[in-house]
Amino acid sequence: DQDKFMRASRAVTLFFGLVTTSVSVMLTFTGGSLISISTTALGMTSGPIVAIFLMGMYSQHIESKGALSGFISACVFAAYIMIGTAKCAVPKGELGDASSRCKGTIWELATINLFTYTPLLMSVTMTVAFIVSRVLLGQHHGAVKERRRLEGGALDGGDDDDGDDGGDEATSNDMHGKGYRALPGSADAM
C-alpha cells in the first residue's frame, strides 16, 4: 500500500515538474509574462470551481449531473476564450488592440478583459447547471420526491399524515433538530 502511494507521489511530482519546466521554457521563447499567464489561468479555473462550490452551499435544486454539465460547458467556453485570445493577439511591435483585429469574426467575443473571466465563467457554469438540473432533469427530480413521499412520509419531520407531526418511527430527530430518515440497520433505526 505504501509503495503504491510512494510511486503515485513520485509520478505526480514528475508530471508537475515537467509542466512547470515546459511553461518556463515556453515563456523564454514567446516572451510572455508569467504574471499575465498565471492571472489568465487563475481566472479560467476559479470561475467554474467557485460556482460549483456556491451552488453546493446555497442551492438544493442543482443536481450533480447539472453541476458537471455546467463545469464542462464553462471549460469549453474557457478554451474558446483562450484560443480566441491567442488568435487575436497583437504581435510585438504592432499598434492596435485585440478587439479591432477580430472584429466581425467568431473570435470577437473572446477578446474580453482578463478580469472578467471569473464572473463570466461562473455565470456560464451556474446557468447551464440550473437549466440541466431543472429543465432536463426536472421530471426525474419530481419523481424522486414522489417516491420518497410514497416510501415513508415526510423526510423533514413535518406532517406525514399519521397525526403526530413528527415524521415516522424510522426518522431520527437527533441531527440538529431536523428529521432525517435512518438507514435500515443503522443505530438510529434500531
Question: Percent of the chain having pLDDT more than 90?
Answer: 19
- Region 133-139: mean pLDDT is 76
Matching residue, cell 440550473: 130
So what's the pLDDT on residue 173? 46
pLDDT range class, residue 55, cuts 50, 70, 90: very high
> What counts of helices (H) and strands (E) characterise the chain?
6, 2
So what's the pLDDT on residue 149? 72
pTM score, whole prediction: 0.56
- Region 154-176: mean pLDDT is 49
Give the phi and the psi of residue 67 in degrees, each rounded to 5.
-65, -40
Note the maximum CA span of the chain: 80
70 close to 132: Cβ distance less than 8 angstroms: yes
Alpha-carbon distances of 164 from 43, 167, 168, 169, rounded to whole Å: 53, 7, 8, 11
Distance (Å, whole) CA 185 – CA 100: 67
pLDDT range class, residue 42, cuts 50, 70, 90: confident
